[in-house]
Structure 1
Amino acid sequence: MSLEKPTKIWWNGAVSDWRDAVVHVTTETAMRGVNVFEGVMAYKIADRSEHAVIALDEHLRRLARSAALLHLPLPHSLDELRQGVLDLIRAEPSELDLYIRPTLYLESGAYTADPERMRMGAYITSYTRERAPLRSVRLVSTPWTRVDDPAFPAQAKSGAVYSAFRLARMAAFRAGGDEPLLLNARGTVAETAGAAVMAVFPDGVVSPPPEDGALDSITRAVLTDLLRDDFGLKVTQRSLRPQELHEAQEVFLCGTLDEVVEVSAFDGVPLGHGADGLARRLFDRYRAVCTAADATASPLRTRVAW
């Protein structure tokens, strides 16, 4: 993903110049990380001036749920935010895929749930992303656990939580890994620093449930349908002990940015996978659905022509 500054941003109701979107350093979002956000992928359709935005409405509904969990009023309706995403893509079109990040933030009103005493803001950013092949990562344990209920709402996708993810990721790098495995306070698997965990066993695929601290992943839901309909596999959500990852036939991660990522090793122990492994086949199928020229390939796609 390129983090070079784009020229445009959707800022509190309209597409604006990037440099005009500023907040004061003493706002609640700057001082305490009081915000919620979503990550949405828009795939460029080959030979067309068009992008396919994946699960846009589902992501915006989850954004609203995150805001509700943190007692943040919506500064714009979901229809306005949806239109903002489309307007931003059209304002700065690209031949590359796009990673889009709608964010709601609190400017003032730190310790009140009264919407009349809270000042909210919203912005949507869009970054280009090079389309890459299937990745393989080394997963490692770290001392950090997933911030979980009741310490913080696990289903609120907030910038504040990603501060903890940053520490876990740094610990993983120091341990010679690529991604940290985050457990919950009960010692079972929650997720990684930004992706859901899925493990393949002879009787099906297992993934931790939301009550174990895993964000209710939209990408996982899409992959669950593909695994059932296209691969004939059952997907079960249940608590997953970290030791079970070594017993699995295969382990992979999934998320908006990650799509499907193969786990080659956990805590230095190689895991099973191969050229014809499920992760690779699922990655190819998911990418095909997201990038298909046929507008009926997936009901989760919103087409945006520019």
Structure 2
Amino acid sequence: MSLKKPTKIWWNGGVSNWQDAVVHVTAETAMRGVNVFEGVMAYKFEGRREHAVVALDEHLERLSGSAALLHLPMPYTKESLRQGVLDLIRAEPSDLDLYIRPTVFLDSGAYTEDPSRMRMGAYITSYTRERAPLRSVRLVSTPWTRLDSSAFPTQAKSGAVYSAFRLARMAALRAGGDEPLLLNARGTVAETAGAAVMAVFSDRVVSPPPEDGALDSITRRIVGDILKRDFGIRLVQHSLRPEELHEAEEVLLCGTLDEIVEVASLDGAELGNTGESLTRRLFERYRAVCTDSAHSPVQTRVAW
């Protein structure tokens, strides 16, 4: 996938030029990765000057929750950030889909919980993205495990965590794979470096719960609703051993940027996912929910 750098950014309260958004090299977000962020997709309606932002309010709610877990005061209200997303789309419209990242960061005041002694900031970026067909990836186990909640709040979506994900992804690439499978300290499946893991069995789809180190995926919630409504299949959350992925009929990943991704192999062993797989049908239905101009409860529509 290709993300193109924009010329505009929402920076501390309003739309600015990209190059004007700067922090000092000693800012806490630069030195220690003290920030929380969200990834949000906005899909372009064909033939119309309009985007559909998917699950925007849910993402901003999770952003606020991540900040609370790291004891970071929100510098702007959720409504202000919501309006910032809409303003940014209108300031730099595109005929492509957009990947949007609202971020709240700590500039100074690392070791205090006193908001008056903490300088906070926020920005929103928007990258264009070419719409792509269903992807297939090779999943690889690595020595790196998902940080346990006793070491770092697993439900906080923070840049600091993604430093660890970077190492896992590099290990997967060196091993000839595309994505790493992250286990938790107990040896059960947590997630990948950016998506939830889902295993398809005859009567259900199983995905690891948050207590196993999996981020409480908003995309997974949408997929769960689609599975129930359109396919009559229930999504259940319980622990998955790595060997159960080999026993599943299909394995797939889901996330905001990944959408739906089929897993072709795990550690070199081929998995299911035939031409008529549930994964392929689910991808088509999920994409339709995101891109159909008919009213959808997960869309915030932005005309420009």
Q: Taking structure 2 as the reference length, what is the TM-score of the superposition?
A: 0.99
Is 1:178 matched with 2:183? no
Distance in 2, Cα, partners of 1:214 & 1:195: 9
Tell me, yes or no, if the aligned pair for 1:88 and 1:126 is still in contact at 8 Å: yes
CA contact (8 A) 2:102 2:125 kept: yes
Match of 2:252 in 1: 252
Structure 2 counterpart of 1:302: 300
In the TM superposition, residue 5 of structure 1 has moved relative to its aligned partner by 2.4
Q: Which residue of 2 aligns with 1:228?
A: 228
Distance 1:35 1:179 in 2: 24
Q: Partner amino acid for 1:219?
A: T
Name the structure 2 match of 1:124. 124
Q: Which residue matches 1:79? A: 79
1:243 alignment partner, SS class: helix
Amino acid aligned to 2:55 = A
Distance 1:234 1:80 in 2: 36
Q: Which residue of 1 aligns with 2:102?
A: 102
Once the two structures are TM-superposed, the CA of residue 273 in structure 1 deviates from its matched residue by 1.0
The answer to which of 1-10 and 95-104 deviates more is 1-10
Contact 2:209 2:239 in 1 (8 A): yes
Specify the code of the residue in structure 1 equivalent to 2:107.
Answer: E
1:55-110 residue CA offsets vs partner (Å, 9 max, x unmatched): 00000000000000000000000000000000000000000000000000000001
Structure 2 counterpart of 1:204: 204
For 1:282, the equivalent position in structure 2 comes to 282
Residue type at the aligned position of 2:299: R
Which secondary structure does the structure 1 equivalent of 2:265 belong to? strand
Q: Structure 1: which amino acid aligns with 2:273?
A: H
**Structure 1 CA distance, aligned partners of 2:74 and 2:103?**
11
Amino acid at match of 1:173: L
- Please state whether the residue corresponding to 1:285 is helix, strand or coil: helix
Give how far 1:293 is off: 1.4
Distance in 2, Cα, partners of 1:289 & 1:36: 27
- CA RMSD in angstroms comes to 0.6
| Contact preservation (8 Å) 1:2, 1:127 | no
Conservation of the 8 A alpha-carbon contact between 1:146 and 1:213 = yes
Q: Which runs of 5+ in 2 are unaligned?
A: none
Instruction: Give the superposition deviation at 1:195.
Output: 0.2
Helix, strand or coil at the partner of 2:206: strand
Matched with 1:30 is: 30
Residue deviations 1:238-266 (CA, integer Å, cap 9, x gap)? 00000000000000000000000000000
Distance across 2 between alignment mates of 1:63 and 1:262:
28
For residues 54-93 of structure 1, the aligned pairs below 5 Å read 54-93=54-93
Partners of 2:283 and 2:101 lie apart in 1 by 23
- What's the CA shift string for 1:139-175, capped at 9, x where partnerless? 0100000012110000000000000000000000011
* 2:143 partner SS: strand
Q: Which amino acid aligns with 1:143?
A: P
Q: CA deviation at 1:133?
A: 0.1
Distance, in Å, in 1 between the alignment partners of 2:127 and 2:119 is 27
Letter in 2 for 1:301: Q
Instruction: Please tell me the residue identity of whatever aligns with 1:288.
Output: A
Partner amino acid for 2:191? E
Q: Secondary structure at the match of 1:79?
A: helix
The answer to whether structure 1 residue 145 and structure 2 residue 140 are counterparts is no
Q: CA separation of 1:149/1:106 partners in 2, compared to 1, >3 Å: closer, same or farther?
A: same
Q: Are 1:49 and 2:49 an aligned pair?
A: yes
TM-score (ref. length: structure 1):
0.99
The amino acid that maps onto 1:148 is D
Aligned length: 304
CA distance in 2, matches of 1:287, 1:5: 24
User: Who is 2:265 aligned against?
Assistant: 265
- Distance in 2 (alpha carbons) for counterparts of 1:135 and 1:71: 37
Instruction: Name the residue aligned to 2:5.
Output: 5
Identity of paired residues, percent? Answer: 78
Inter-partner Cα distance in structure 2 for 1:5 and 1:133: 22
Over 4 Å off, 4+ runs: none
Work out the CA distance in 1 between the residues paired with 2:5 and 2:249.
Answer: 42
CA shift digits 1:93-137 (9 cap, x unpaired): 000000000000000001011111100000000000000000000
What is the CA-CA distance between 1:300 and the residue it aligns to? 1.1
The whole-number CA distance in structure 1 between the counterparts of 2:119 and 2:78 is: 18
Ranges in structure 1 where 5+ consecutive residues have no aligned partner: none
